[in-house]
Amino acid sequence: MADLVHATTASGVAIITLDSQHNRNALSTQLMAELTDRLGAAQADDAARVIVLTHEGRVFCSGMDLSEARGGPPTGMGVNAFPAILQSIWDSPKPVIARVAGPARAGGVGLIGACDIAVAARSATFAFTEVRIGVVPALISITVLPRLLPRAAHELFLTGEVFDGDRAAEVGLINAAVETADLDAAVRRYVDLLVLGAPGALAATKHMLRRSRPASMSEDFAAMLALSAEHFAGKEGQEGIAAYAEKRRPNWVPQV
């Protein structure tokens, strides 16, 4: 059986590619198992500093493989695989960029929402189609709702209307919509910016962005002072300060 997810790593970038074109990169049991493995391998690989999630074929991801859901909800691997994938992307210590050149639907939009940064072609389309087949966009709401403007979330989740890349950027689902010819350059720009950050500092900053806020400002300041002091005194902080003083790049920047 041919692989449905491919992975390569070069110059600090792990590229994970969905390649199940026969079913529009639907989230089948096989694809989810392979995506889980590829994400885990990239996160464990010290040579990978940034992860790019992309696709072969016209469609980014059409959502769950409905052929596997006939007769009831998925069982076994399928029932927990997708939430675990979303959490793996969301909690990844390495930044994850979604490169979207074609349509994304339902669970495919959930993948995009889980990524730290998302860039799409203006011609790409998006939709939360669940209500139109009698189900609820429950799982993907966990990664998508923190991105969307509240009014837009109500509109798009309830209507299932298709919207383009420009609207996706307008409502916060993606960071940027560009012409298809400019998509790779836009992704490369974000990659080049992200690899300048120290791995530990990037992971800690991601955790900081997603943490629950304390009840009081004084608790918040105390926690953030401790975090700041830890990283100023750490190996990365000291290397970064030395590199700045010596007008050179820090030792964590990949050599190309």
Listed in order, strand segments (DSSP E) in the chain are 5-10, 13-18, 50-55, 96-100, 104-105, 117-121, 125-127, 163-164, 176-178
Side chain identity at residue 99, one-letter code: R
Tallying the residues shown for the chain, one arrives at: 256
Q: Give the per-residue pLDDT at 77.
A: 47
Question: Tell me, what's the pLDDT at 78?
Answer: 57
Domain boundaries, the chain: 5-194, 199-245
Cα separation, 53 vs 96, whole angstroms: 7
The half-sphere exposure of 89 on its side-chain side, counting CA atoms within 13 A, is: 30
Q: Is residue 12 a contact partner of residue 47, using CB atoms and an 8 Å limit?
A: yes
The correct CATH number of 5-194 out of 3.40.640.10, 3.90.226.10, 1.10.510.10, 3.30.460.80 is 3.90.226.10
pLDDT at 72: 56
Contacts of 63 by beta carbon, 8 Å cutoff, 6+ apart: 26, 27, 105, 106, 107, 108, 109, 129
Q: Which residues of 159-169 are buried (b: 16+ CB within 10 A; e: fewer)?
A: ebeebbbbbbb
| pLDDT tens-digit profile, the chain (256 residues) | 799 999 999 999 999 999 999 999 999 999 999 999 999 999 999 999 999 999 999 999 999 998 886 655 555 445 689 999 999 999 999 999 999 999 999 999 999 999 999 999 999 999 999 999 999 999 999 999 999 999 999 999 999 999 999 999 999 999 999 999 999 999 999 999 999 999 999 999 999 999 998 889 999 999 999 999 999 999 999 999 999 999 999 999 988 6
Position 63 scores a pLDDT of: 94
Nearest to 115 by CA among 147, 162, 148: 147
Give the whole-angstrom CA distance, residue 230 versus residue 211. Answer: 17
pTM beyond 0.85, yes or no? yes
